[in-house]
Amino acid sequence: MTRPRAASERFVAQLPARTRSRVKVIYSPILEIKPQPVNVDASDVRGLIFTSANGVNAAVSLGLRREMPAFCVGPATTSTAKSAGWTAQMAGATAEELVANLLKHRPDSPLLHLRGEHSRGNVATRLTESGLTVREQAVYQQRLLPLTPEAIEAANSKEPVITPLFSPRTARQFADVWAGSAPLWLASISETTAEPLYSLDYVRLKIAKAPTPKKMRKAVKKLVKHAMRVEGGETTD
């Protein structure tokens, strides 16, 4: 698992029990999330935009007020925002869908998009250019990490390795740090995330049918099933 530890553990915990029982899980985060020590002026803000749970967690640490609405990408981010106390609604499964939704319904603005220092989609710029005032502020860092020694050992073994990738940036990092000879089975949350992976020597690359945790769990479940059938042995995730 290449996501930050807490997110990886949540994903694994929600896999079917049979799937979990058939793999040895190795946690090797290749992206570390750290809040940025910034001041956020939200005095005139009428709503927040969250495109990841990391943005929600950063907003909590910054003490932003909860009475404004939150417009979120994906069920996981929405659930995190609701649990933190915001009146949150899922405005789309992707940033593209969120932009389209906000332009259609045009909530009170200005809105504030709280994001990482590396962000895709140009959400604030596109919304502002279309007449909806949106500011953005980076509130957390995303530091790339190498594979752990345990993951490197697995990569150099003969057992199949199943790796789910959840973002284009982590996929690029994985493609850069992977140097193993183990049979590699990859699950990607989207076609965009899959692009950096095509250069790797893999057995199979499965793209989730939708960019959601539920569809990724289904993709991983299928990969585990197929890998065990093909390889006839235990798998490492």
| Cα distance between residue 15 and residue 21, in whole Å | 10
pLDDT at position 212 is 86
Domains 5-31+144-236 and 44-142 share a fold: yes
> What is the pLDDT averaged over residues 137-147?
94
CATH code of the domain occupying 44-142: 3.40.50.10090
pLDDT tens digits, one per residue of 48-97? 999 999 999 999 999 999 999 999 998 889 999 999 999 999 999 889 99
- Which range (34-38, 96-100, 143-147, 201-205) has the least confidence? 34-38
List C-alpha distances in Å: 200 to 12, 33, 185, 204. Answer: 24, 26, 10, 10
Instruction: Give the number of other Cβ atoms within 10 Å of residue 131's Cβ.
Output: 9
Residues with Cβ within 8 Å of residue 60, at least 6 apart in sequence? 84
- In CATH, what number does 5-31+144-236 get? 3.40.50
Domain ranges of the chain: 5-31+144-236, 44-142
Strand partners, 136: 113
pTM of the shown model: 0.82
Q: Residues 175-206: pLDDT tens digits?
A: 999 999 999 999 999 999 999 999 999 999 99
**Residues β-bridged to residue 140:** 35, 116
